[in-house]
Amino acid sequence: MRNFLTLDDLSEKEILKLVKDALLFKKNEIECDLKGKIIANMFFENSTRTQYSFNTAEEKLGMKVITFNPATSSLNKGESFYDTVKTFESFGIDGMVIRHTNNEYYKELKDIKSVLINAGDGTGNHPSQSLLDLVTIYEQFNKFDNLNIAIVGDILHSRVAHGNLKVMERLGMNTYISGPKEFMDNSSKFIPFKDAISEMDIIMLLRIQRERNAVKSMSDSEYLENYGLTMDKVNAMKKDAIIMHPAPFNRNVEIADDVVECPKSKIFTQMNNGVYARCSILNHCFK
């Protein structure tokens, strides 16, 4: 049994195995039975995809699933995050999938005995999202080496960008960031959006994270025109290039309505692969 907290903890070989196992799960070509294991999904921050695709993966593998609801819990009576997790450990829960607003929240849980799976920590990491993104890229290109990716938008507040840039560089991809200056940091090389459109194999869009106090200095329509992906820009992309977005997306801000489901878009494929990436993670943690 082992934790899954950041991809930094895994070798490139282990990451590639997780990717390949996810694709085997997708083809129904891998055996994994976790009947009898009890897992709690504990989301202290909102989620649709991560929470319910973990839930789907857990059900597929035969686990018993408890959904923790922070709104009706004793957090509202002053119980701390640590004491909530310690309480679940004391129930004998085998594993906990945790999302929290604090970066590296898991550091205060280092003595917890149950398996811990990070479902996103503040602006730090979102390793199951990174894995499903890698699965989608590998499924499309059958390699990582020398692929060019630009992550575009609110890099500053994005755990997806920060986690992905690190692991993608480790796997031999050429990474770039693009978008308004106010959302850039030094996590990768900057590329003007216009150049990214014509040169990249993958354009990964991000939404502006208003819940982390991100404020853009332009209207939605100005943002769409300058930094959003519109169909005229899609038509200027390389023939085999793809569009990704971790979602949720804001239609007609960072992505035009008609681009969301256009042939180059892998956004809903990412969501589908998310279930298999999470099966692969559960298999890795509990086998």
DSSP 3-state helix, strand, coil percentages of the chain (rounded to 5)?
45, 15, 40
- Asked if 247 is part of the footprint of ligand CP (rule: CB under 6 A), the reply reads yes
SS3 state at 148: strand
Asked if 237 contacts 264 with a C-beta cutoff of 8 angstroms, the reply is: yes
User: Residue from 49, 86, 212, 238 that binds ligand CP (CB under 6 A)?
Assistant: 49
35 CB neighbour count, 10 Å cutoff: 8
**Nearer of residues 47 and 269 to ligand CP, judged by Cβ:** 47
Query: What is the x/- site pattern for ligand CP, positions 71-110, by CB under 6 A?
Result: ----------------------------------------
Selected range binding ligand CP among 42-50, 57-65, 84-92, 187-195, rule: CB under 6 A: 42-50
- Asked if 246 is part of the footprint of ligand CP (rule: CB under 6 A), the reply reads yes
H/E stretch holding 119: strand 115-121
Query: What is the x/- site pattern for ligand CP, positions 150-189, by CB under 6 A?
Result: ----------------------------------------
**Nearer of residues 149 and 197 to ligand CP, judged by Cβ:** 149
**Nearer of residues 59 and 195 to ligand CP, judged by Cβ:** 59
Sheet holding 202-205, edge to edge: 189-190, 174-178, 148-152, 202-205, 242-244
User: Residue from 47, 73, 252, 272 that binds ligand CP (CB under 6 A)?
Assistant: 47
184 φ, ψ (degrees, to nearest 5): -90, 150
Euclidean distance between the first and the last CA atom of the chain, given in angstroms as a whole number:
6
Tokens representing 77?
A: 């009576």
**Nearer of residues 179 and 197 to ligand CP, judged by Cβ:** 179
Task: Give how many residues touch ligand CP by CB under 6 A.
Answer: 8
Asked if 21 contacts 75 with a C-beta cutoff of 8 angstroms, the reply is: no
User: Residue from 50, 118, 178, 273 that binds ligand CP (CB under 6 A)?
Assistant: 50
- Asked if 122 is part of the footprint of ligand CP (rule: CB under 6 A), the reply reads no
Query: What is the x/- site pattern for ligand CP, positions 197-236, by CB under 6 A?
Result: ----------------------------------------
CA distances from residue 49 to 88, 158, 241 in whole angstroms, order as listed: 23, 16, 24
Tokens representing 113?
A: 């005995």
Selected range binding ligand CP among 199-207, 213-221, 240-248, 275-283, rule: CB under 6 A: 240-248
Tokens representing 230?
A: 């519109």
Asked if 131 contacts 159 with a C-beta cutoff of 8 angstroms, the reply is: no
- Asked if 192 is part of the footprint of ligand CP (rule: CB under 6 A), the reply reads no
Binding site for ligand CP (CB under 6 A): 47-50, 129, 246-248
